[in-house]
């Protein structure tokens, strides 16, 4: 088993942006998930939100956040995003957010997909907190990534 090390530190232990200049430009994708747990009365009130449709505002927030990831996370590279999507699935316990980001670049888009999921979840909280402040944001994680030297990663399902 090879010993892996964190890539964002140089030999002296100082924070360092990874040099990707020698990496191949490849098609890369990432899919992430977040879950916003909320009581049934908040779910029922979503269509009547006076601030607007929380899910559509959260969709725009997620897309915008993906585009600004390098501004928000200090050592992330600025990427030319080809596509970002933010989708929602409602169930009795809350709202599942699934995001997808795509690029053709020298580094992956995992952080962009996860940033989109996190900001979409925070936006839903912001738009519904007046109804119940106990809403929880849970399980922000990478579901899948493709492309690059490390190839494909798929999160094992947890059942």
Higher local confidence (pLDDT), 23 or 12: 23
User: Domain for residue 112, yes or no?
Assistant: yes
Return the pLDDT at 3.
59
Q: Are 24 and 122 in contact (CB under 8 A)?
A: no
The pLDDT tens digits for 85-141 are: 999 999 999 999 999 999 999 999 999 999 999 999 999 999 999 999 999 999 999
Q: What DSSP element (H or E) covers 125?
A: helix 110-128
The domain spanning residue 123 has which CATH number?
3.30.70.640
Catalytic residue status for 126: yes
DSSP H or E stretch at residue 97 = strand 94-105
Residue 138 included in any domain: yes
Task: Please report whether residue 106 resides in a domain.
Answer: yes
Give domain status of residue 125, yes or no.
yes
User: Do the beta carbons of residue 84 and residue 97 sit within 8 Å?
Assistant: no
State the total domains in the chain: 1
Question: pLDDT tens across 18-72, in order?
Answer: 888 888 899 999 999 999 999 999 999 988 888 789 999 999 999 999 999 999 9
Catalytic residue among 19, 48, 91, 126, which?
126
Q: Are strands 136-146 and 94-105 parallel, antiparallel or unpaired?
A: unpaired
Q: Can you give the pTM of this predicted structure? A: 0.90
Say what the pLDDT of residue 5 is: 64
Q: Give which of 127, 124, 126 is closest to 51, Cα–Cα.
A: 127
């Amino acid at each position: 088993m090879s010993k892996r090390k964190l890539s964002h530190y140089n030999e002296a232990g100082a924070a360092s942006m990874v040099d990707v200049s020698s990496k191949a430009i490849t098609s890369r994708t990432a899919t992430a998930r977040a879950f916003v747990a909320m009581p049934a009365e908040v779910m029922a009130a979503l269509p009547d939100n006076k601030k607007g449709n929380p899910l559509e505002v959260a969709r725009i927030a997620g897309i915008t956040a993906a585009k600004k990831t390098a501004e928000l996370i200090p050592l992330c590279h600025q990427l030319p995003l080809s596509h970002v999507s933010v989708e929602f699935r409602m169930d009795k316990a809350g709202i599942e957010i699934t995001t997808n980001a795509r690029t053709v670049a020298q580094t992956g888009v995992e952080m962009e997909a996860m940033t989109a999921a996190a900001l979409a979840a925070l936006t839903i909280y912001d738009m519904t907190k007046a109804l119940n402040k106990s809403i929880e944001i849970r399980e922000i994680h990478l579901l899948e990534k493709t492309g690059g030297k490390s190839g494909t990663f798929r999160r094992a399902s947890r059942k």
